[in-house]
Amino acid sequence: MIFLSASIPDCERDPKYYDTADIISIRDAVRALATLIIPNSTLVWGGHPAITPLIRNVMTLMNSRTQDHIILYQSEFFADRYPMDNEFFKQVVFTKKNDNLELSLEEMRMRMISENQFKACVLIGGMEGVEIEYEMFIRYHPNARVFPIASTGAAAKTIYNRTKNDDSRLLKDYAYLSLFRSLFQNLLELD
C-alpha cells in the first residue's frame, strides 16, 4: 500500500503554503502517481475536493478491476458536502464525525494511517494537513519510505527542506511518471 497526502493550497487560508505551491505540478504529480500505483499496488488517501476528482479521472481511463486498488477515507463531518466523485469509488471508509472539524480530521487521519500497512508515503503540495499526516505517518510507519515531492511546493517542499532530504530529484524532476517509476522500482513489482 502507498499513502498519498496531498492538497492544493488555498490562498485565503495560509499564504505561506500558497505562495510556494505549483498548482499544475500538484495536479500532474497526483495524476502520475495514481497512474503508476493503482495498477501495481493500493493507493490510500483522505478525501479532498481537489485531489479526489484527479484520481477519479485517472480511474475512468483504467480497467474497472483497479477499483480494488484504491481506498478513500472520508470523515462523516463532511457528509452534507461529499463530492459526487466519492460515489465512483467502491472502497470508501467513512470515519465518525466528532464535535468539531479538527477532532473529525484527527479521527480520519488516525484510522487511515494506523489501519493500513504502507510501504511508502508520497507528499504532494498541501498545507498543514499534509504536515500533520507526515508526522503521524512516520510515527506509525518508521521503516516506510517517505517522498516529499518538493517540486510541487507548499507543505511538501517545507517537509523536504526540514528533513534535509538529499534526493534532488524530488526538488527538480517534473517528469513525474518517470520519477515515480524510479522511486518505486525497488518497492513494487511494476508492470
The domains of the chain, with CATH numbers, are 5-184 (3.40.50)
DSSP-assigned beta bridge partners for residue 123: 5, 148
pTM of the shown model: 0.94
Cell of 14: 495560509
Distance CA(49)–CA(100), nearest Å, equals 19
DSSP-assigned beta bridge partners for residue 44: 3, 71
What is the three-state SS of 34-87? HHHHHHHCCEEEECCCCCHHHHHHHHHCCCHHHHHHEEEEEEHHHHHHCCHHHH
Amino acid 172: pLDDT: 97
Distance CA(35)–CA(54), nearest Å, equals 11
Buried b (16+ CB within 10 A) or exposed e, 141-176: beebebbbbbbbbbbbbbbbeeeebeeebbbebeeb
Amino acid 64: pLDDT: 57
Amino acid 2: pLDDT: 97
Answer yes or no: is pLDDT of 190 > 70: no
Distance CA(188)–CA(191), nearest Å, equals 9
pLDDT tens digits along 158-180: 999 999 989 999 999 999 999 99
User: Which residue did the predictor score with more confidence, 42 or 80?
Assistant: 42
120-125 and 2-7 strand pairing: parallel
pLDDT tens digits along 15-72: 899 999 999 999 999 999 999 999 999 999 998 888 999 999 998 888 656 788 999 9
Residue 121: pLDDT band (50, 70, 90) is: very high
Distance CA(151)–CA(112), nearest Å, equals 26
